[in-house]
């Protein structure tokens, strides 16, 4: 007998199986293939991006040791940690979306029928998500290009790092989100049609 989920399990975002797992047999083949390819891509990107946690941690540990053990704070650790974390956040966003772990206020949504959830998700992706991400991609690309061409530097710290390398992560991460959005849209369409979510 299946055990009823605890309240905390209902509140947190759903955890999904690996790419290509849990897709229903009645899903059109092209749709299942597209979802599998995109989810696999996001999964691999997420695994690569997760390694950025190591240089982030090392920069912070180095700063703490240098500052408190040797009274020799660095001029670069703050900027490095901020830039690595920013890149980590945006480049890993599509992976988080593929795993269903983005925060959502679903106290009403989770009580709806799956068909209704699928219809709402489909409409929201088409009307809000994709237009917003396309505009965001366009603006972020211009912003990153300007930083690269002008060799912009951060002016809020003494180190004044070049901003181009970190700003280029923004359009790349948004492109990853757009790609993963296609998978999420197809899942919503399937739920709207059949009343069942791919697991």
Give how far Cα 170 sits from Cα of 15, 176, 179, Å.
26, 10, 14
Q: Contact 42/180 with Cβ under 8 angstroms?
A: yes
No. of H helices and E strands in the chain?
9, 0
State yes or no: pLDDT of 15 exceeds 80. no
How confident is the model over 154-190, as pLDDT tens digits?
888 888 899 999 999 999 999 999 999 999 999 999 9
The mean pLDDT of 53-57, rounded to a whole number, is 94
The mean pLDDT of 59-71, rounded to a whole number, is 93
pLDDT confidence tier of residue 1, bands split at 50, 70 and 90: very low
State yes or no: pLDDT of 145 exceeds 50. yes
Q: Contact 92/50 with Cβ under 8 angstroms?
A: yes
How confident is the model over 82-98, as pLDDT tens digits?
999 999 999 999 999 99
State yes or no: pLDDT of 9 exceeds 60. no
State yes or no: pLDDT of 10 exceeds 60. no
Mean pLDDT of the chain: 89
Q: Contact 72/66 with Cβ under 8 angstroms?
A: yes
């Amino acid at each position: 007998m299946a055990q009823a989920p605890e309240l905390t399990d209902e509140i947190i975002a759903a955890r999904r199986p690996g790419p290509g797992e849990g897709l229903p047999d009645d899903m059109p083949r092209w749709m299942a293939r597209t979802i599998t390819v995109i989810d696999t891509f996001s999964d691999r990107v997420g695994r690569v991006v997760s390694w950025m946690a190591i240089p982030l941690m090392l920069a912070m540990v180095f700063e703490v040791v240098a500052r408190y053990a040797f009274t020799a704070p660095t001029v670069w650790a703050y900027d490095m940690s901020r830039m690595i974390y920013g890149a980590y956040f945006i480049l890993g966003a599509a992976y988080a979306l593929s795993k269903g772990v983005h925060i959502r206020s679903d106290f009403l949504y989770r009580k709806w029928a799956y068909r209704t959830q699928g219809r709402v998700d489909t409409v929201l992706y088409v009307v809000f998500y994709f237009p917003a991400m396309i505009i965001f991609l366009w603006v972020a690309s211009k912003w990153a290009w300007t930083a690269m061409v002008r060799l912009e530097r951060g002016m809020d710290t003494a180190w004044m790092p070049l901003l181009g390398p970190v700003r280029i992560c923004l359009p790349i991460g948004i492109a990853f989100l757009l790609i993963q959005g296609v998978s999420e849209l197809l899942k919503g369409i399937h739920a709207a049609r059949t009343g069942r979510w791919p697991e």
